[in-house]
Chains A and B, each alone.
Chain A
Amino acid sequence: MQPDSVELAEAAAVWSGAYVHVPFCARVCPYCDFNVVAGRDDLQHRYESAVLAEIESEPAWRSLDSVAFGGGTPSRIPARSLAAIVLAIRQRFGLVEGAEVSLEANPEDWSEPLAESLIAGGFNRVSFGAQSFDPAVLVGLGRLHDPADIDNGVKSARQAGFGSVSLDLIFGTPGESMASWQRSVERALELEPDHLSLYALTVERGTALSRAIKGGAPAPDEDDQADKYETAQELLAAARYVRYEVSNFARAGHACRYNLLTWAQGEYLGFGPGAHGHRSASRYRNIHRLDAYLEAVEAGTRPEQGRDQLSSWEREQERLILGLRRAAGAVAGCAGEALLESEWGRRLLGAGVLGSFGGRIVVDKPLLGDDVARAVLALAPIDC
């Protein structure tokens, strides 16, 4: 099925998923604001036990369509730990036929034996943090791999039998030329991945990058990033990759299920420190700090840190905001109709950012999508 098909987008709303957060990293990348720890690999064993215990104590649920391991760096913990967690999830909840079991991996951690162990452990999708094929850009991003690691990673993943291989690229790093970016995209395409995620480098608060910029280092430039996005989009379209979300591109049949499920407001469980879950109109999150998370689970308590119970109007707004990130757009529904009639919405329609047809709304200029989201949040609550 085409990644941007309306049927696929809507079907994902009833899928079920699980997210496992693996916080370990060799070092913290300067732009990263995720929940990570570096230099605490000694806790990996306790971590595995805690996640297994957390899965065991979770009440029985439906069979899952997607299991995603994110980080951090999932490839940093032993393959047998990853396999044990997949097994526990399968035993506790069950996996549907053809379920997606995916992990993020750093190219420098990858090897043929690892790939084979992961296939044996039930994984069928891998997403490599390639980021760039320009060694200078990789250094600027604080990455430890070189371009050859990416080539080797993709090849060995294919050989081991991964059915879906994805690459993450970051564009708009200060100092990255257009030629460098174009070359990175071309090099990525030469590897024929099934899926590509292209992320504009974002300056998050509290990161080393943010501090460096405050100290006078060059910041990413909006126009440069827009140019690079457009260039990449052309190259990818020519290579028959379909954009199905702001930053995500795939070939037919390779849209990421966990992603689709998220944007369709589907339900998923979260395991591991800082992991988020979404069930029964409630978004909850686990204890963020690894040590505190471990202590809570080891003490036999639920490691939940907090939850947001959404009102029906908040859910309706969220449905639209998440759905409109997709190329397939979203059913207009109650909030969508209101958006199209609002002054802000009309401005967005007039500027060609927003489009509507057949009861659906789409964002035609994905690079300007946040203003649509803000317009949705600015709507007065409606009793839908």
Chain B
Amino acid sequence: MSSPVSIRNFSIIAHIDHGKSTLADRMLERAGAVSEREMRAQVLDTMDLERERGITIKAQAVRLEHKAPDGERFVLNLIDTPGHVDFSYEVSRSLAACEGAVLLVDAAQGVEAQTLANAYLAIEAGLEVIPVINKIDLPAADPERVSEELASILGIDADEVIRVSAKTGEGIDELLNRIVRDVPPPTTDGGDLRALVFDSYYDSYRGVVCYVRVVDGTLAPGDSLLFSATAERHTASEVGFLTPLAVPVARLGPGEVGYLITGVKEIDRIRVGDTISHPGSARIQPLPGYAEPRPMVYSGLFPSDGEDFERLREALEKLRLNDASLVFEPETSRALGFGFRCGFLGLLHMEIVRERLEREYNLDLVATSPSVAYHVTTTDGSSFEIRSPQDLPDRGRIQFLEEPYVRAMIIAPSEYTGTIMELVQARRGTMDHMQYLSPERVELIYNLPLAEVVFDFFDQLKSRTRGYASLDYEPGEYRASDLVKVDVLLNGQSVDAFSAITHQDKAYQYGKQMVERLRRLIPRQLFDVPIQAAIGSRVIARETVKARRKDVIAKCYGGDVSRKRKLLERQKEGKRRMKMVGSVEVPQEAFISALRIDSET
């Protein structure tokens, strides 16, 4: 057990790709926690997918040991944070376990939207912020300019900004010394145990593993523990810290960060943000937790093969063991059969979940158009939330509809201001304010419907600003909008999977786009297939897939019989994989392609 005065708990916060994981690796290497052999690139990113996408999904905590220039030894707990806008709730979670934050900025890119968003989160959480510029070895590095930007945002002197290269290791020692000097040691009131659960994950051998920050008292194996939020009692079977290898210890004391294993097998029974204490202790003043992660985007996930429904359920349940932000409930689609309505933190989260389901669980999935949660107020005055266009009541019963807005922060070189304004206006956004971070860089704050953001807004923003703009957003209020439900009909029959709720002004565009795509994707059938987009009974777009006219092998003689049979067998298999929508055969591919979010807007 370390004395609180020699402990420093900190996070690294940064915009995506500014080098957070590489810096963490370098610190681990420098602080001797990881041997050469264990040192794979970016040890904190454990999942393959994280490695491939270069993003960190799961916060983790690692203990480092650092000897200050005067010889004094310190324990540094580095709590890793994710770097994508979808996962900002995890950032705030990690920050609650820290006293300091290293604010890392790319020396060439400069301050970006999530640099600011994360800096504000850290300041709000009362953390000591240490500004650091990374990648000073890059030819395009402009540490002077970036230091100025950081200084003006944080209200500090530009020469307080530390310059490092996580790649070469330059400046790392100075940074470690600054952490020891500036980050306050944890404080304790000396009372009985209070510990914060700031993360958890499911391990198939050990059950649920909690990451905890002990605030007061001590936590030891054998302790009987009370979890405030759930009011459940569990016994600590093991406590320890990560180097990043697990090192069991006899106890964790005030200010320490580590892991706790209780033998609980169901992750639902442990609430992240909960306070742990000893039952019977006089006071249980819960530590400030944090808001539950709220899904922002919903999509239906359906197995291509209806027989995989149970496998999909099992896979989702397994994923949820390590991802409490994933929510799902069974959903039935006439077109797609049985599946699940899933809630995600954002589009990236949705993509990651889908990819993991397909890759790790070998499922072939169809995902419906992402949708947000709308508030419906009906003519009888009752209000409720809907997460799927199918749940929208008849138009006659709706008094008004509200949609969620977000407050979006965009940072970009000022020359792109006009382009960004155009894009945001096309997406029904209104400007809140703008300010220049420097003569060359501008920050624009908008209120935007979330539905407009989840549909390729980020991609559009990136492509229109040559990749220079960055985006962050936070949930805002619900506002009444002129929303309509657009249905897509195949041969007169509505296909629920293609229905969408859109703004009145965009309904025609959506409808036209869907019917045109489907005309290209649906093969010709034995009869003409009309494809219509409609609002209620009003058809707003129409295309026709003309009936098939020729589908026959021209030559079939003695030498062709076996060969042609094999060809027909293959074609038959292709047909078998089609979904019947009424009497229309729709290839799986049509669902996937028609619903694909792309820049065709």
Q: Are B558 and A278 in contact (CB under 8 A)?
A: yes
Chain A residues with Cβ under 8 A from B561's Cβ? 262, 276, 278, 283, 318, 322
Chain A residues with Cβ under 8 A from B562's Cβ? 276, 283, 285, 308
Dominant secondary structure at the B interface: loop
Instruction: Give the segment of B73-81, B164-172, B191-199, B549-557 that binds chain A.
Output: B549-557
Q: Are A200 and B554 in contact (CB under 8 A)?
A: yes
Cβ-defined partner of B568 (8 Å) among A268, A278, A366, A377: A377
Instruction: Give the segment of B282-290, B331-339, B570-578 that binds chain A.
Output: B570-578
B526 within 8 A of A: yes
CB under 8 Å from chain B, chain A span 265-324: 268, 270, 274-278, 283, 285, 308, 318, 321-322
A235 within 8 A of B: no
A68, A223, A270, most chain B CB atoms within 10 A = A223
Chain B residues with Cβ under 8 A from A278's Cβ? 558, 561
A213 within 8 A of B: no
A369 within 8 A of B: yes
**How far, in angstroms, from A17 to B572 measured CA to CA in the complex?**
31
Q: Are B559 and A274 in contact (CB under 8 A)?
A: yes
Cβ-defined partner of A247 (8 Å) among B526, B555, B576: B555
**How far, in angstroms, from A70 to B557 measured CA to CA in the complex?**
11
Q: Are B559 and A19 in contact (CB under 8 A)?
A: yes
CB under 8 Å from chain A, chain B span 534-589: 546, 548-559, 561-562, 565, 568-569, 571-572, 575-576, 583
* Given A19-B559, A322-B561; A351-B527 close (CB under 8 Å): yes
Chain B residues with Cβ under 8 A from A318's Cβ? 561, 565
A341 within 8 A of B: no
A42 within 8 A of B: no
Chain B residues with Cβ under 8 A from A60's Cβ? none
| Nearest CB on A from B233, distance (A) | 58
Q: Are A370 and B568 in contact (CB under 8 A)?
A: yes
Q: Are B554 and A368 in contact (CB under 8 A)?
A: no
Q: Are B558 and A276 in contact (CB under 8 A)?
A: yes
Chain B residues with Cβ under 8 A from A277's Cβ? 558
Chain A residues with Cβ under 8 A from B527's Cβ? 351
| Nearest CB on A from B491, distance (A) | 13
**How far, in angstroms, from A366 to B553 measured CA to CA in the complex?**
10
A325 within 8 A of B: yes
| Nearest CB on A from B136, distance (A) | 50
Cβ-defined partner of A378 (8 Å) among B548, B550, B572: B572
**How far, in angstroms, from A325 to B524 measured CA to CA in the complex?**
22
A19, A202, A229, A368, most chain B CB atoms within 10 A = A368
Q: Are B526 and A371 in contact (CB under 8 A)?
A: yes
A373 within 8 A of B: yes
**How far, in angstroms, from A193 to B524 measured CA to CA in the complex?**
36
Chain B residues with Cβ under 8 A from A259's Cβ? 557
Chain B residues with Cβ under 8 A from A283's Cβ? 561-562
Chain A residues with Cβ under 8 A from B571's Cβ? 370, 374
Q: Scoring A residues 99 to 116 as 1 if CB is less than 8 Å from chain B, else 0, what string do you get?
A: 000000000000000000
Q: Are A229 and B550 in contact (CB under 8 A)?
A: yes
**How far, in angstroms, from A225 to B549 measured CA to CA in the complex?**
9
**How far, in angstroms, from A80 to B583 measured CA to CA in the complex?**
59
A353 within 8 A of B: yes
Chain A residues with Cβ under 8 A from B548's Cβ? 222, 368
A226 within 8 A of B: yes
Chain A residues with Cβ under 8 A from B546's Cβ? 223
Chain B residues with Cβ under 8 A from A223's Cβ? 546, 549-550
Residue of A nearest to B574 (CB): A374
Chain A residues with Cβ under 8 A from B555's Cβ? 199, 202, 247
Q: Are B556 and A351 in contact (CB under 8 A)?
A: no
**How far, in angstroms, from A358 to B565 measured CA to CA in the complex?**
27
**How far, in angstroms, from A56 to B583 measured CA to CA in the complex?**
57
Chain B: residues with Cβ within 8 Å of the partner, total of: 26
Q: Are B568 and A200 in contact (CB under 8 A)?
A: no
A252 within 8 A of B: no
Cβ-defined partner of A262 (8 Å) among B524, B553, B558: B558
Chain B residues with Cβ under 8 A from A34's Cβ? 559
Chain B residues with Cβ under 8 A from A368's Cβ? 526, 548-552
Chain A residues with Cβ under 8 A from B554's Cβ? 199-200, 202, 246-247
**How far, in angstroms, from A208 to B369 measured CA to CA in the complex?**
42
Q: Are A225 and B550 in contact (CB under 8 A)?
A: yes
Q: Are B558 and A19 in contact (CB under 8 A)?
A: yes
**How far, in angstroms, from A226 to B553 measured CA to CA in the complex?**
13
* Given A225-B550, A368-B550, A377-B572; A270-B558 close (CB under 8 Å): yes
A367 within 8 A of B: yes
A348 within 8 A of B: yes
Chain A residues with Cβ under 8 A from B553's Cβ? 202, 246, 369-370
CB under 8 Å from chain B, chain A span 239-265: 246-247, 258-259, 262-263
**How far, in angstroms, from A325 to B576 measured CA to CA in the complex?**
23
**How far, in angstroms, from A76 to B548 measured CA to CA in the complex?**
40
Chain B residues with Cβ under 8 A from A258's Cβ? 557-558
Q: Scoring A residues 349 to 380 as 1 if CB is less than 8 Å from chain B, else 0, what string do you get?
A: 00101000000000000111111011001100
A347 within 8 A of B: yes
* Given A259-B557, A308-B562, A318-B561; A246-B552 close (CB under 8 Å): yes
Q: Are A374 and B549 in contact (CB under 8 A)?
A: no
Chain B residues with Cβ under 8 A from A276's Cβ? 558-559, 561-562
Chain A residues with Cβ under 8 A from B550's Cβ? 200, 222-223, 225-226, 229, 367-368
**How far, in angstroms, from A200 to B556 measured CA to CA in the complex?**
12
Q: Are A369 and B552 in contact (CB under 8 A)?
A: yes
**How far, in angstroms, from A259 to B571 measured CA to CA in the complex?**
25
**How far, in angstroms, from A348 to B583 measured CA to CA in the complex?**
11
Residue of B nearest to A223 (CB): B549
| Nearest CB on A from B411, distance (A) | 44
CB under 8 Å from chain B, chain A span 165-204: 199-200, 202
| Nearest CB on B from A33, distance (A) | 10
Chain B residues with Cβ under 8 A from A367's Cβ? 549-552
Chain B residues with Cβ under 8 A from A275's Cβ? 559
**How far, in angstroms, from A368 to B551 measured CA to CA in the complex?**
5
Q: Are B558 and A268 in contact (CB under 8 A)?
A: yes
**How far, in angstroms, from A322 to B568 measured CA to CA in the complex?**
12
Q: Are A321 and B558 in contact (CB under 8 A)?
A: no
Q: Are B556 and A371 in contact (CB under 8 A)?
A: no
**How far, in angstroms, from A283 to B524 measured CA to CA in the complex?**
34
**How far, in angstroms, from A367 to B549 measured CA to CA in the complex?**
7
Chain B residues with Cβ under 8 A from A274's Cβ? 559
Chain B residues with Cβ under 8 A from A353's Cβ? 526
Q: Are B557 and A374 in contact (CB under 8 A)?
A: no
**How far, in angstroms, from A367 to B526 measured CA to CA in the complex?**
11
**How far, in angstroms, from A258 to B576 measured CA to CA in the complex?**
34
Q: Identify 15 new A-B residue pairs, CB closer than 8 A, beyond the known A223-B550, A322-B556.
A: A70-B559, A199-B554, A222-B550, A223-B546, A223-B549, A225-B549, A246-B552, A277-B558, A283-B562, A321-B568, A347-B526, A368-B526, A368-B550, A369-B553, A370-B553
List the 7 shortest-distance A-B pairs measured between CB atoms, nearest first: A226-B549, A351-B526, A374-B572, A276-B559, A369-B552, A199-B554, A226-B550
17 contacts between A and B (CB under 8 A): A70-B557, A70-B559, A199-B555, A222-B550, A223-B549, A223-B550, A258-B558, A276-B559, A276-B562, A321-B568, A347-B526, A367-B551, A367-B552, A369-B552, A370-B568, A371-B551, A378-B572
> Which residues of B pack against A, CB within 8 Å?
524, 526-527, 546, 548-559, 561-562, 565, 568-569, 571-572, 575-576, 583
